[in-house]
């Protein structure tokens, strides 16, 4: 089986999202036969770093099936060494050529960072990773929450694209595409932020 190009993978994700948003999901590749087919090995066509918000499971909003996506979920779709290592594994061991960073409207983690103060427990670890994105929106007008959510996505994309020693050279060589996207909880639609 030939792996799709990054552009083909992105097109497949967006087509699946259009079906989902329109209420016409196919629920592909979710049968017992598919489960048996992928039990021995996985060949996902994309990796998705998504917020852990329960309202946006990537396999559903992109109308994908078992084994289609390598999904890394963490509050605020923030990066740390474990997330970076997971992406590197998807790219080097599984042949993934597209990494999508997926944030969403009304993100509680970003709103917590905007509120300031010191969150309780380990929530502060998530908020600390988002706070640098807030500096990107200080001069922005309009909806500060939306601007901060988008800045947080863009910050993660930029960090992934420059991550050494594995990801940055693959991006430079054109063998890896890393894209930011925003999911609207109300419409169900995904918007690509850059390419």
Q: What is the pLDDT of residues 52-111, one digit of tens each?
A: 999 999 999 999 999 999 999 999 999 999 999 999 999 999 999 999 999 999 999 999
CATH of the domain at 188: 3.40.1050.10
- 138 band by pLDDT with thresholds 50, 70 and 90: low
Q: How many domains does the chain have?
A: 1
Beta carbons of 71 and 59 less than 8 angstroms apart: yes
Q: How far apart are CA 158 and CA 155, in angstroms?
A: 5
Closest CA to 4 of 40, 37, 43: 43
Q: Is 59 helix (H, G, I), strand (E, B) or coil?
A: helix
Q: Please report whether residue 1 resides in a domain.
A: no
Name which residue leads in pLDDT, 188 or 118. Answer: 188
Q: How far apart are CA 19 and CA 61, in angstroms?
A: 9
By mean pLDDT, which of 1-5, 7-11, 83-87, 129-133 is the weakest?
1-5
Q: Please report whether residue 117 resides in a domain.
A: yes
Ranges of H-type helices in 144-184: 144-161, 167-172
Closest CA to 9 of 101, 104, 100, 102: 100
Host domain of residue 27: 6-192
Q: How far apart are CA 149 and CA 137, in angstroms?
A: 10
pTM score, whole prediction:
0.93
Phi, psi of 134 (to 5 degrees): -65, -30
Q: Position of tokens 């084994």?
A: 67
pLDDT, mean of residues 42-61: 97
105: left (phi over 0), alpha (psi -120 to 50) or beta: beta
List, in sequence order, every beta strand (DSSP E) within 51-111.
69-73, 98-104
List, in sequence order, every beta strand (DSSP E) within the chain.
46-50, 69-73, 98-104, 177-183, 190-192
């Amino acid at each position: 089986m030939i792996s799709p190009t990054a552009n083909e993978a992105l097109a497949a994700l967006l087509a699946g999202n259009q079906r989902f948003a329109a209420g016409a999901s196919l629920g592909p590749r979710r049968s017992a036969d598919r489960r048996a087919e992928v039990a021995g090995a996985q060949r996902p066509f994309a990796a998705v770093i998504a917020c852990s918000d329960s309202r946006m499971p990537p396999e559903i909003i992109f109308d994908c099936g078992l084994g289609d996506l390598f999904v890394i979920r963490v509050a605020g779709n923030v990066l740390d060494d474990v997330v970076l290592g997971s992406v590197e594994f998807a790219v080097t061991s599984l042949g993934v050529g597209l990494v999508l960073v997926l944030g969403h409207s009304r993100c509680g983690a970003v709103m917590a960072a905007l509120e300031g103060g010191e969150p309780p427990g380990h929530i502060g670890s998530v908020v600390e990773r988002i706070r640098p994105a807030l500096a990107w929106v200080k001069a922005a007008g309009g909806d500060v929450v939306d601007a901060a959510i988008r800045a947080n996505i863009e910050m993660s994309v930029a960090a992934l694209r420059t991550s050494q020693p594995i990801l940055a050279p693959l991006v430079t060589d054109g063998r890896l595409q890393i894209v930011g996207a925003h999911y609207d909880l109300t419409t169900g639609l995904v918007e690509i932020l850059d390419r």
